[in-house]
Amino acid sequence: MNNATLGISAVLLAGILNGSFPAPSKGVREWKWEHLWLIYSLCAMAILPVALASVFGLRAVIQILGANPLIALKIAAFGALWGLGSVLFGVSLVRLGMAITNALISGLVVFFGSIGPVLFGVIHIDRERLLWLVGGLSLLVVSLTLCAAASIARDAGRSEEPSAPVSSRARGRAISGVLIAVIAGLLSSMLNFGFVVGYRLTEAAAAKGFPAAAASVVVWIPVLLGGIVFNMGYPAYLISRSRSWDVYVNAPRRFICFLRAFLMGLLWFGGVQFYGFGASAMGSDGAVYGWALIVAVSILTSNTWGAATGEWRGTGARSKTLMWLATAMLICSFALLVVQQTRG
């Protein structure tokens, strides 16, 4: 198995893990979103990265970061921007609903996260490969649009509320929601920027004896510690406002809730770690193609989970047809990107 194939396989696994990380939250009734997200963030962005680094040499990671303070600060800043994008995603979700929010933000994340490093000169690829990339990304964005249309058709079919005129206040709320979602999408792509900028640190970790599959942890530690400020700060604010910290101690089945939050963190961080390994193995433009691939596979996986857990049960033929078309476009996008990457 050559490096490109190995890298694509790792990114494929990363997308499956990333698309599966919300699954353990299904059926949790004892905790609200903020309680679950706080523990998930703590596990995914602090405990697990530090634990992995400790297995192979936490002191070596500290030495590498200490020897490259400007790079460490820069990628931590990218992490903070990504963390803010995660919070704004939650805000736009409330204002716009899941279908539109997911489609809009995912489209921006995949486009800016893949094209951004090229436009800013961080990664250089030739014109032919860039055109293939744009083709694959275009199919991916079309599939996201179809996903949104399918979700809207599904929810409309379930609603029994009569249609009513849209008030100016509701319209203004929707417009502000779109603006927030755009900002959230741009900021959320900063996770890949942090990885790209910190590539030299990954090489330094490999030189110190870290295995290839774990070397990128030296980048993820500052990136995720930067992102944890908002990912933990906002849920902590909501819990404090509702004065519901006692849920962690008094809620029934709290052990199961803690376990589910930990599994969310394990799946998400596992996906990030495999992405770092896969993108590095794919070569100099791995973070460009790899980012598009992980988003495509992640969305395909989350759609599969949605079908498996009954999200589309009892819906009309139109919504199911749109979702099948979206899935077909996702597969075409994935195939196009893989073919070009293996050709390179």
Whether the pLDDT of residue 47 is over 50: the answer is yes
Q: Which of residues 247 and 330 earns the better pLDDT score? A: 247
pTM: 0.81
Q: Report residue 252: phi and psi, to 5°.
A: -65, 150
Nearest to 221 by CA among 68, 87, 72: 72
Where is average pLDDT lowest: 27-31, 51-55, 216-220, 245-249? 27-31
On the question of pLDDT at 286 being above 90, the answer is no
Q: Per residue in 155-168, pLDDT tens?
A: 665 554 544 454 56
pLDDT of residue 162: 47
pLDDT in tens, 199-226: 889 989 999 889 988 999 999 999 999 9
Q: Where are the domains of the chain?
A: 3-157+165-343
Q: In the 3-class helix/strand/coil scheme, how is the chain assigned residue by residue?
A: CCHHHHHHHHHHHHHHHHHHCCHHHCCCCCCCHHHHHHHHHHHHHHHHHHHHHHHHCHHHHHHHHHHCHHHHHHHHHHHHHHHHHHHHHHHHHHHHCHHHHHHHHHHHHHHHHHHHHHHCCCCCCCHHHHHHHHHHHHHHHHHHHHHHHHHHHHHHHHCCCCCCCCCHHHHHHHHHHHHHHHHHHHHHCHHHHHHHHCHHHHHHHHHCCCCCCCCCHHHHHHHHHHHHHHHHHHHHHHHHHHCCCCHHHHCCCHHHHHHHHHHHHHHHHHHHHHHHHHHHHCCCCHHHHHHHHHHHHHHHHHHHHHHHCCCCCCCCHHHHHHHHHHHHHHHHHHHHHHHHHHHC
Q: Which of 77-81, 193-197, 284-288 has the lowest mean pLDDT?
A: 284-288
pLDDT of residue 29: 87
Confidence at 249, pLDDT banded by 50, 70, 90 = very high
